[in-house]
Structure 1
Amino acid sequence: MRVLALFPLVLRNLLRQRRRALIAVFSVAFGIAALSVANGYIAWMFYDFREATIESQYAHIQLTRPHYHEDGRADPFRFLLPEDSTAASLAKLDHVRGWGARLAFSGLLSKGETTLSFIGEGFNPATDLTGDRALRIIAGRKLTPADRNTILLGKGLALQLGAQPSDAVVILVDNPGSGLSAIDANVAGIFESVSKAYDDSALLVPIDDARKLLKVSGAHSWLVYLDKTENTATVAEALRRQFDPRQFEVRTWDQLAEFYARAVDLFRQQLDVVRFIVFAIILLGIGNTMMMSVMERTGEIGTMMALGVRRRAVLGQFLAEGALIGLLGGISGLLLAWLASIGVDALQIEMPPPPSLTRGYIARILLTPTIAAEALGIAVMTTVLASLYPAWKASRMMIVDALRKNK
């Protein structure tokens, strides 16, 4: 109740110096708008990068044999999963959009006199990598469930090999049990994922062709796609309860995409620098404004204390003024950031791809409730801190000295 009763008085004090109050509010607003725009832009970049990484490489969740990701390259045939029928229950789980078996292998790819090493995967064209975000075809076409002895090449691998859609190639692999195995195949299309390193060596084939080539059944991993990335932890926990941990290992996309975690950490550190700059600007600007207000109202403060107003109440009044400036500036800053997000969406600005990645993205500003709450919190906290010393100085005035200012 005391705070509500104090509000009209605080607002009246600010309106007495409208120009100074507006300058203070807008200095906070522009700082908060800059921080919110930077925060929202990076949040959108993380979101777009995350979804593209999930759809094109890792899926939301992977089921493998234990320690496959650490030791599978050395002896991949020791980590084969059972037949696909064992994984049929995956499609019945809540939030599961689809799943697909993957069979990894490596070998040599030849076209004419050119021979290159590759890292390949067999997948089910009917259920896996079906969306444009998952598999971006830049030449040719996607694979269909009816395709046999047909492959997709990563952009970098196709460029090094000099291969184009409809070209004939030879795939050669080494099976530990049966020796060398080869098939003739045609290039259906050339794709581009989010990772340049992956595209430089990637080859995709229908999983039935991969099993025939390797003379095996089963797969190395089962990839699970969800309706929303936010449900990853819930579904992963359900899978850990459903499948025997001695036979199956469940890993989420963020456990597999280490480069994504490193990129997030880097940008968060950069955003911390932006926060510090905004914090310092508001702190200095509002501190100066509040100190000038204290100096101009010295006589008024002396009169208040002479009439019995406690020093604690004087301190609280000036802190409340600072908090109100922060609140108004924070709300105005969020409004400016929202207008900026509308403008950026309308402009459809295409950004270049980050280092080591192949895809650019359309710039957007993603203003979430978390970003808005953080911005308001920084605005109010910073202005209260900036008001702390002027408020303390006002509350510690000697009444007699302050009253002399009225003369």
Structure 2
Amino acid sequence: MNKMNIIKLARLAWRNLLRNGRRTLITLLVSSAGFAALAIVAGYMEFTFYGLQEMTICRGFTAGGGTGHLQIFRKEALDREERFPLEYGIGQNQTIQSEIEKEKNVLATIPRIEFNGLISNGEKSISFLGTGVVPEKEIKLIDYWNQTNKMTNSRRMDNSAYLNLAKGAPNGVLVGEEMAKALDAKVGTNLMLMSTTVDGAVNAVDVTVAGIARNPMKSIDRYYLVSHLETAQNLMFTDKVSKIVVVLNNTGNTQSAIPSISRRINGSGSSGSFSIVPWQSLAEYYYSVRDAYNIIFSFTGIIVVVIVFLSCANTMLMATMERVREIGTLKAIGISNSWISLMFLLEGFFIGLLSVAGGIVLKFLFSIIINNSGFRMPPPPGMTSSYLLNIFPAMEFLPWISLLVIASTTLSGLLALIKIRKISIVNSLSHV
């Protein structure tokens, strides 16, 4: 056939779809709903992964707080076991912070001390996992979260706990809700911290509860404690810090910032005293959740595609059975099975195109409804906070979903091809 005949075949396929409008409409609705379902799942997946990524960076899922984009350690701290606390801590950290903050993509540097010990109210003692911080600098991590372009007012992170710590007594601490319940502590309650110094001795300091915070992880909330950096240093008799957290202006700049920061703190040589660890290497919880969600979303996508395929295949088979005499007539005038099959494939292709158009409309319509509904999702397993459901546009996924739906509707015509090849001219012309 020449080009004109192919165009005529496409017109014939289009008219065949319009000939039974109700059946075509039902198939289109199923296929469009399938496209919209896949696109909404992709939007929810993008929202979930983005939220987990930025939550890991800004707040974290451990007692140590948010990972930041980068963390600076002494190399020995990563390669060896410490014989005593802060044996491989970072000294003169303010000088290092000043050098790092000269980089154009760096928003802030945050020194931290990680320590542990016992906390007591005089009658009861429980263990704690503590972090010594500079509250004013920790607030910069929260500011980064609140200023990201995908955050709305309803998802802004509260910085009141760190503000209370900054404005409170010099020896103020933040404790987790479960710890506060266990010690019967309230804001203003006096407690005592006991820990091991860098010399191996036991030291104690009196502290005051400046605020009660909720850690994202339920299992950590009972041991969660945050103190001023000076309080932790006085408790441990040291001027070192465990690490320096670096906050960048964009997560996408993480890898590109490492070489320039390394040159500033390690010099131009290949060796140096410090290791720079990106947040991806510190985000075990993020990757475990992402892997689980990828399996769930992939399985959901397969089910939706199968439903779309079977719906279109059913339409094509019904059309084949209703048009047996038409198919026999086409064969009788010399049209080959291949061209008749191509006509059915074109019908499936047109259904796919219309499904994509309808699916895009449904996707954005339902996304608007969901994003403005204020619906809250329950806390994920092991966590304490619910979160607002949101569907991101996920524009980069739409071309792939479109190809998947069009391929499913087009290839559904292959089942009709098997039936067409079995139809003989004589039997088809006498078919009722």
Q: What SS class does the counterpart of residue 366 from structure 1 fall into?
A: coil
Structure 2 residue 237 is the aligned partner of structure 1 residue 215: yes
The one-letter code matched in structure 2 to 1:222 is: I
Q: For the residues of structure 2 that align with 1:343 and 1:354, how far apart are their CA atoms?
A: 23
Distance 1:167 1:24, change over 3 A: same
Partner of 1:58: 67
Structure 2 residue 103 is the aligned partner of structure 1 residue 78: no
Q: For the residues of structure 2 that align with 1:156 and 1:90, how far apart are their CA atoms?
A: 37
Aligned with residue 131 of structure 2, among 104, 118, 121 = 121
Aligned counterparts, 1:19-38, within 5 A: 19-38=22-41
Higher mean displacement: 73-82 or 28-37:
73-82
Aligned counterparts, 1:228-243, within 5 A: 228-236=250-258, 238-239=260-261
Distance 1:37 1:405, change over 3 A: farther
Alignment check: 8 A CA contact 2:14 2:347 kept: yes
Partner of 2:13: 10
Aligned with residue 95 of structure 1, among 88, 99, 105 = 105
Partner of 1:45: 48
Q: For the residues of structure 2 that align with 1:359 and 1:67, how far apart are their CA atoms?
A: 37
Distance 1:266 1:178, change over 3 A: closer
Aligned with residue 191 of structure 2, among 166, 169, 176 = 169
Q: What SS class does the counterpart of residue 164 from structure 2 fall into?
A: coil
Distance 1:359 1:320, change over 3 A: same
Structure 2 residue 375 is the aligned partner of structure 1 residue 349: yes
Q: For the residues of structure 1 that align with 2:346 and 2:265, how far apart are their CA atoms?
A: 57
Aligned with residue 389 of structure 1, among 411, 415, 424 = 415
Alignment check: 8 A CA contact 1:172 1:180 kept: yes
Q: What SS class does the counterpart of residue 205 from structure 2 fall into?
A: strand
Q: For the residues of structure 1 that align with 2:132 and 2:366, how far apart are their CA atoms?
A: 45
Please list the CA deviations of residues 52-90 of structure 1 after superposition, one character each: whole Å capped at 9, or x if unmatched: 232112222222233646756765423212322123232
Distance 1:178 1:74, change over 3 A: closer
Q: TM-score, normalised by structure 2?
A: 0.83
Alignment check: 8 A CA contact 1:136 1:192 kept: no
Q: What SS class does the counterpart of residue 181 from structure 1 fall into?
A: strand
Tell me how far 1:26 sits from its aligned partner: 0.6
- RMSD of Structure 2 on Structure 1 (CA): 3.0
Alignment check: 8 A CA contact 2:356 2:402 kept: yes
Partner of 1:160: 182
Q: For the residues of structure 2 that align with 1:19 and 1:217, how far apart are their CA atoms?
A: 78
Partner of 2:303: 277
The one-letter code matched in structure 2 to 1:123 is: V
Please list the CA deviations of residues 300-350 of structure 1 after superposition, one character each: whole Å capped at 9, or x if unmatched: 444445555554443333222212212221332232122111111222012
Q: What SS class does the counterpart of residue 64 from structure 1 fall into?
A: strand
Alignment check: 8 A CA contact 2:370 2:390 kept: yes
The one-letter code matched in structure 2 to 1:361 is: Y
The one-letter code matched in structure 2 to 1:118 is: F
Q: For the residues of structure 2 that align with 1:327 and 1:289, how far apart are their CA atoms?
A: 16
Higher mean displacement: 70-79 or 354-363:
70-79
Tell me how far 1:163 sits from its aligned partner: 1.4
Structure 2 residue 210 is the aligned partner of structure 1 residue 185: no
Distance 1:140 1:204, change over 3 A: closer
Partner of 1:337: 363
Q: For the residues of structure 2 that align with 1:259 and 1:74, how far apart are their CA atoms?
A: 28
Partner of 1:366: 392
The one-letter code matched in structure 2 to 1:96 is: V
Please list the CA deviations of residues 9-61 of structure 1 after superposition, one character each: whole Å capped at 9, or x if unmatched: 43222112211111111111122223333332343233223322321122222
Aligned counterparts, 1:282-293, within 5 A: 282-293=308-319
Q: What SS class does the counterpart of residue 231 from structure 1 fall into?
A: helix
Tell me how far 1:118 sits from its aligned partner: 0.9
Partner of 2:228: 206
Distance 1:324 1:74, change over 3 A: farther
Tell me how far 1:290 sits from its aligned partner: 0.9
The one-letter code matched in structure 2 to 1:347 is: S
Q: For the residues of structure 2 that align with 1:145 and 1:72, how far apart are their CA atoms?
A: 37
Q: When the two structures are aligned, how many residues end up with a matched partner?
A: 406
Q: TM-score, normalised by structure 1?
A: 0.88
Aligned with residue 260 of structure 1, among 266, 286, 290 = 286
Distance 1:354 1:317, change over 3 A: same
Q: For the residues of structure 2 that align with 1:274 and 1:147, how far apart are their CA atoms?
A: 53
Tell me how far 1:383 sits from its aligned partner: 1.3
The one-letter code matched in structure 2 to 1:103 is: I
Q: For the residues of structure 2 that align with 1:195 and 1:69, how far apart are their CA atoms?
A: 25
Structure 2 residue 345 is the aligned partner of structure 1 residue 319: yes
Give aligned-pair identity as a percent. Answer: 29
Alignment check: 8 A CA contact 1:306 1:399 kept: no
Tell me how far 1:357 sits from its aligned partner: 0.6
Distance 1:377 1:52, change over 3 A: same
Q: For the residues of structure 2 that align with 1:73 and 1:294, how far apart are their CA atoms?
A: 76
Please list the CA deviations of residues 146-194 of structure 1 after superposition, one character each: whole Å capped at 9, or x if unmatched: 8521211122222222211111111121114161222222111111232
Alignment check: 8 A CA contact 1:137 1:191 kept: no
Q: For the residues of structure 1 that align with 2:429 and 2:390, how far apart are their CA atoms?
A: 58
Q: What SS class does the counterpart of residue 185 from structure 2 fall into?
A: coil
Consecutive unaligned residues of structure 1, counting only runs of 5 or more, are none
Distance 1:348 1:406, change over 3 A: same
Q: For the residues of structure 1 that align with 2:97 and 2:83, how far apart are their CA atoms?
A: 25
Q: For the residues of structure 2 that align with 1:354 and 1:225, how far apart are their CA atoms?
A: 26
Alignment check: 8 A CA contact 2:329 2:429 kept: no
Higher mean displacement: 308-317 or 128-137:
128-137
